[in-house]
Structure 1
Amino acid sequence: MSMKSFVLSILTDAFGEYWYVFISYMVFNILDWVTGSLKAMKLRNVSSYLGLRGLLKKLGCWIVIGLAFSFSSMFVIISREVLGVNLSIMYSLGWFTFLLLIVNEIVSILENLVVLNVKVPDILMKSLKLTDNILDDVSKKILDKDSEESSKKK
């Protein structure tokens, strides 16, 4: 087995079929931290406390991703095997959460680049912010619908 096959097999075992999306997010984390550090240098606002806080925030995002995927999987398995109910739609919760965090990370990188005088096309920033707004609206609709259904059952 070649080294490339070995690495791909490990990544697939750890992150599943879409391992490359998780690796991309990790690269976005690094780019955001680096561009944020460069921005702090430019603004003369370098602080080890803020740098550490940023890294801990990134770690927190990975914990949120792990929780979103793991508890959605648990809900699907338990509902199917114990309750006989199909809640496979819950799998989308992990991906939805992940997508929101990916968009936020990319927006943050681009905002840092703007402060660093890198020309970022307006269409890119606006489309990402629009995507973020759409995702927020969808999540609010889901929560509002769920809240209305819960109220009707009482």
Structure 2
Amino acid sequence: MNKIEKVNTAKALIASIGAFLSAKLGMLYIIIPLLMAVMIIDYLTGMLSAKKEGITNSKAGMWGIVKKLLYGVEIAVAMIVDWTIINVANSLGISIRVTTFFGLLIAIWLVINEVVSILENLIKLEVPLPEFLMEVVKNFKIVVESNGNKLAEKIKVDEKE
């Protein structure tokens, strides 16, 4: 196999994996890389702001990394809940068209949380930000949390009936 064929095979393999993940993860396929990007940016801006304030600490930095890795566990648990609900519903003859709901809700909430943290770090770094930006992001976080809470309450009410 020549070099061009190897490159084409690698491209086909990457495209196949991407298509498979996209089909299985739905919108999470887009949100997870976004979450990883904002986690990295948050970590870097957090380290810069800690350095500026003279409070750098390797233990705190390591805990920040561990905490961000645990976000993946949180999303995985939410995806397991999604998978369980979808498969139980299918076995009962109920068709659910989404591939993920709780995983997506958690991932979006985490992205917003990271964006708020990035903005807070930029404020500590004395980067001028328009006030409305922080308000819009915080309000969007409240909307996501509120919708999640409404769903949880609906499930509680349905459970009691």
By the TM > 0.5 criterion, same fold? yes
1:69-108 correspondence runs (5 A): 69-81=79-91, 83-88=92-97, 91-108=100-117
| 1:92 Cα deviation from its structure 2 partner | 1.7
Higher relative contact order (CA 8 A, sep 6+): 2
| 1:26 Cα deviation from its structure 2 partner | 0.8
Q: Does 1:47 align with 2:57?
A: yes
Q: Is 2:42–2:118's contact at 8 Å kept on the other side of the alignment?
A: yes
Kindly provide the amino acid, as one letter, of the partner of residue 104 in structure 2.
Answer: W
Equivalent pairs, count: 151
Cα distance per residue 1:69-117 (max 9 Å; x no partner): 2330232023203x22335568322111111111001111111011001
Identity %: 26
Larger radius of gyration: 2
Q: Is 1:36–1:112's contact at 8 Å kept on the other side of the alignment?
A: yes
Measured at CA, do residues 6 and 21 of structure 1 come closer, stay the same or move farther in structure 2, by a change above 3 Å?
farther
Measured at CA, do residues 11 and 108 of structure 1 come closer, stay the same or move farther in structure 2, by a change above 3 Å?
farther
Q: Which structure 2 segments of 5+ residues have no match?
A: 1-7
Q: Does 1:141 align with 2:146?
A: no
CA–CA distance in 2 between the matches of 1:67 and 1:54? 20
CA–CA distance in 2 between the matches of 1:107 and 1:41? 19
TM-score by length of 1: 0.84
Q: Is 1:75–1:90's contact at 8 Å kept on the other side of the alignment?
A: no
Measured at CA, do residues 139 and 35 of structure 1 come closer, stay the same or move farther in structure 2, by a change above 3 Å?
same
State which of 128, 133, 146 in structure 1 corresponds to 2:137: 128
| 1:10 Cα deviation from its structure 2 partner | 3.5
TM-score by length of 2: 0.81
